[in-house]
Amino acid sequence: MGTVVETPVKEADATVTVKKPTVVFVLGGPGSGKGTQCANIVEHFGYTHLSAGDLLRAEIKSGSENGTMIQNMIKEGKIVPSEVTIKLLQKAMEESGNDKFLIDGFPRNEENRAAFEAVTKIEPEFVLFFDCSEEEMERRILNRNQGREDDNVETIRKRFKVFLESSLPVVQYYEAKGKVRKVIFCSPIFILVIMF
């Protein structure tokens, strides 16, 4: 009789293509309207809004050692280390169940930008940049009365200075790549039209 030879059964290609999330960085000075407009975009386009500032404030409230360090840096108007913010963003992205994100208030500087792209292997689809005068931003922040510790004139002015020195180069980097959509007039309808 013949000999039976067992041949291994090839399974279907086990390579799974993982779709990278769509990320839009939302940048602008403090009080430029980022959070307000992100809420409109979420409502109409199904994005998940991740505010780097909100994630950092939540970490502060947790009472962790990390939270204390973050609180001290925010009081000084300084930028929190990239790895701290990126870990918080990655965790929030994983927990959201979505694949479309508005990342508000990050990256704050070139080092943040390079670290985010290196760690996550994600480059933003584009950057939504809110261009607003310092006078208008200060007026908005002082009128919003959210009870935030960093909503006082001295800290606001430190935050403006940090934004101009550190964050504008990020906007310029992406502008050179043709990835910046600038918003000067902050009407909700206008935002939705230029966004998509």
Quote the percentage of the chain above a pLDDT of 70. 79
* Range scoring the smallest mean pLDDT among 4-8, 40-44, 174-178: 4-8
Q: What pLDDT, in 10s, does the model give residues 56-109?
A: 999 999 988 889 999 998 888 787 889 999 999 999 999 999 999 999 989 989
Query: Where do the domains of the chain lie?
Result: 22-193
pLDDT at 112: 93
Query: Which residues have CB under 8 Å from 1's CB, separation 6+?
Result: none
Task: Give, in order, the Cα–Cα distances in Å from 76 to each of 51, 132, 163.
Answer: 20, 23, 13
Q: Higher confidence at residue 159 or residue 115?
A: 115
- Assigned CATH class of 22-193: alpha beta
Kind plus residue range of the DSSP H or E element containing 128: strand 126-130
Most confident of 71-80, 116-125, 186-195: 116-125
Task: Give, in order, the Cα–Cα distances in Å from 42 to each of 48, 90, 108, 152, 191.
Answer: 6, 19, 22, 29, 12
Tell me which residue has tokens 């080092």.
Answer: 111
